Amino acid sequence: MNLFDFLLINGVESPQFDKSQNIMNEQRKVICHEETGGKRIPLNLIYDYPVKWSKYKVLRDFLQNFYDAIGYHEWISRFSYELNGDSLIFKAAGVDFSYDWLVHIGASTKREETGKYAGYFGEGFKIASLCAMRDFGWSIEIASRNWELTVVTEKLNVDDRYLTSLAYQIWENREIRHDTVLCIYPLTHRDISSLQTVFLSFFYEENILFGKKIWSSSKAAIFLRSEQPKPDNYPSTYDQTGAGIIFSCYQAMGSFKYPLIFCLHDYRLNDRERSGFYMMDVISAIEKTVALLPPEAAAAVLNVIKDQWNAYPQKKYDFESWYSIVQRLAEIVARSDKHKAAWIQKHPELIVAPRVKKSDIEKFNRRRQALAWIETAGIRYRLVQDGFSLFGYPVLEDICSKHDGFCVAQNPTEKEADRIQLLQSLTSILMTDVFGGDALSPCRIIQGDMAAWQGMASCIRLKKSIRTPSGLYIRYRLPYIAIKSHLLTRDKFGEALSTYLHEMAHMFGGDRSSSFSNALTVIMGVISANSVLTGEFQKKWEAIPP
């Protein structure tokens, strides 16, 4: 399939040349005259200059010059191409310029107008021509105004050493051309495949990768992604080969997982060696783009990135976190009373969960309790980051406290104390080697039937672990443990004992730690081996008057 067929099938049609104006001669592939004459201009760009560009980058830089000369608004109507055998011809209608701009490294008409062009460094055509000839065996010819040029080589004598330099062979004509034409040959089928990728890597609204427009301005734009898959080797960010695309200075530079296209026209990496964005560049470009959005567009983008609503940085300097993006979007939407009300009506189930550090033991334990409570309370909810507090959504811990969902410990009643004494006595007899010889932690009662946990333990990490006779290591001091009062009833001996021992075992580690799991295994083994004694204590438990 050739390039024209590819773009036509996928919905992008570009006009072909008028054959009467086609500079391609049926008998040869060159634009320029075969007759002798003209002049040769060495570029002082040595042929073995250590730069390596891929075919994609070479073709992209050639196309970039046409793109910048026309602009994306008229790209489809004024740019055309032709595939003639193994030759590719680009044409920019109504564009002409002096070839002097192609001679000097760093010479560019674009450098003083940042944000208006894809090009910048003034080296694209020269370096692209060098790599095209030297590395891929392509011939490059270009014509505009009254001149025609072919890229050649020239021998230079430097300190009695002969070097090869890139050069231009230039002819001047009487006829004035009001367009610019570039010819590249010979191209293979695989080269054409690279060209397909190049065409779709530039910003224009007719690009088949673009879906519905969310918002646009002179500085930036945001689109949904179309269903059209990206071609092979499309610019992407390492380990982020999702549907999303970042366009920077009108060129695709990175990718991410959400079906969105962010286009920031004046965001440039001033590093010609960088051919794509790292994830931190992607995040930075998105941050700068969303900062420009009105509320309606911000809400549309925020709806697409739902799984980032509760995102927080995972480390001190987390340059890949979506936290600030979500926060800014929420701030913009909440700024408008109209869009704020519409958002709350569409998403009534959101609950704010401010960031809690594990090192803050008190807040961390409250968060764990609140999460456990809300799971059992039957409340429809979705946790979101603190940026959503601007909408007036409630905070998780506040809801839990309002419904008495926290495990608040109080001293036991006299009858509760009698049964707790039996649990402690049995534990002291059976578990001395497991828990060590120290006195057992006091046991309190969890106040409130709405609390999700059947038991809890207050834990303070020891500076140095203590080895017990059973070979386990005590890592925490337990100022107290607590269990729910309904466990201290006549028919709940088994549940009460297992909950009590579970909470005592937290001196060895947290719920998900292997040390805690190992301790429970040891405890279960001791109980199983002493079933008779355990049965006797159960009878004493059941004999206590209600």
pLDDT over 50 (residue 366): yes
Of these ranges, 172-181, 257-266, 272-281, the one predicted with the greatest mean pLDDT is 257-266
- Most confident range, picked from 152-161, 200-209, 262-271: 200-209
Please check whether residue 149 is in contact with residue 143, taking contact to mean a CB–CB distance below 8 angstroms: yes
Task: For residue 103, give the amino acid letter.
Answer: V
* C-alpha count within 13 angstroms, C-beta hemisphere, residue 416: 17
The CATH architecture that domain 409-543 belongs to is: 2-Layer Sandwich (3.30)
pLDDT at 357 > cutoff 90: no
> What would the mean pLDDT of 197-215 be, rounded to a whole number?
96
Higher pLDDT, 34 or 365: 365
Average pLDDT on 527-534 reads 94
For the segment 211-237, the average pLDDT, to the nearest whole number, is 95
Q: Which residues, including other chains, have CB under 8 Å from residue 290's CB and lie 6 or more apart? A: 298, 301, 325, 328, 329, 332
How many whole angstroms separate alpha carbon 297 and alpha carbon 295?
6
Per the CB < 8 A criterion, the answer to whether 264 and 274 are in contact is no
Taking CA 153 as the corner, what is the angle to CA 149 and CA 158, rounded to the nearest 5 degrees? 130
Amino acid at 115: G
pLDDT at 110: 44
The reported pLDDT for the residue numbered 26 is 36
Secondary structure class of 545 (helix, strand, coil): coil
Q: What is the CA radius of gyration of the chain?
A: 36
Q: What is the DSSP string of 438-454?
A: SPPPPEEEEE-TT-S-S
From 235, 233, 239, 296, select the one nearest 261 (Cα to Cα): 235
What whole-number distance in Å separates Cα of residue 362 and Cα of residue 418? Answer: 30
pLDDT at 268: 76
CA distance 162 to 538: 102
Q: What is the 3-state secondary structure (H, E, C) of 357-376?
A: CCCCHHHHHHHHHHHHHHHH
Looking at per-residue pLDDT, the higher value among 281 and 275 belongs to 281
Instruction: Determine the Cα–Cα distance for residues 185 and 30; give it in Å rounded to an integer.
Output: 9
Cα separation of 87 and 266, whole Å? 34
pLDDT digits (tens, 9 = 90+) for 52-110: 999 999 999 999 989 988 999 999 999 999 988 899 999 999 998 888 878 755 444 44
The H-or-E segment that residue 245 falls in is strand 244-248
pLDDT reading at 414 higher than 50: yes
Instruction: Indicate if the pLDDT at residue 23 is higher than 60.
Output: no
- What's residue 540's pLDDT? 93
What is the C-alpha separation between 210 and 474, in angstroms, rounded? 60
* pLDDT value of residue 370: 86
SS (H, E, C) 269-304: CCCCCCCCCCHHHHHHHHHHHHCCCCHHHHHHHHHH
Task: Identify the pLDDT of residue 318.
Answer: 87
Q: Which helix (H) or strand (E) holds 225?
A: strand 220-225
State which H helix or E strand residue 542 sits in. Answer: helix 531-543
Domain boundaries, the chain: 3-199, 202-289, 293-403, 409-543
For the stretch 508-515, contacts whose Cβ atoms lie closer than 8 Å and that sit 24 or more positions apart, written own/partner, are 508/472, 508/473, 508/474, 508/475, 508/476, 509/475, 509/476, 510/459, 515/472, 515/473, 515/475
pLDDT of residue 497: 95
What local confidence, expressed as pLDDT, does residue 451 receive? 64
Looking up tokens 């055509």, which residue turns up?
Answer: 125
Residue 83, pLDDT score = 87
pLDDT at residue 408 above 70?
no
The three-state secondary structure class of 417 is helix
Average pLDDT over residues 103-129: 57
Query: Confidence band (pLDDT; 50, 70, 90) for 273?
Result: low
- The half-sphere exposure of 479 on its side-chain side, counting CA atoms within 13 A, is 5
What pTM did the predictor assign?
Answer: 0.74
30-34, 251-255, 440-444: lowest mean pLDDT where? 30-34
Least confident of 12-16, 198-202, 474-478: 12-16
Average of pLDDT values for 502-530? Answer: 93
Diameter over CA atoms, the chain: 120
Q: Which residues pair with 11 in a beta bridge?
A: none
Domain 3-199 has CATH 3.30.565: yes
Q: How confident is the model at residue 18 (pLDDT cuts 50, 70, 90)?
A: very low
Q: Round to whole Å and give the CA distance between 3 and 72.
A: 19
470 within 8 A of 428, measured Cβ to Cβ = no
What letter does residue 250 receive in the DSSP assignment? Answer: T
Q: What is the pLDDT of residue 396?
A: 94
Closest CA to 497 of 506, 507, 487, 505: 487
Question: Directed axis angle between helix 414-430 and helix 531-543, to 10°?
Answer: 170
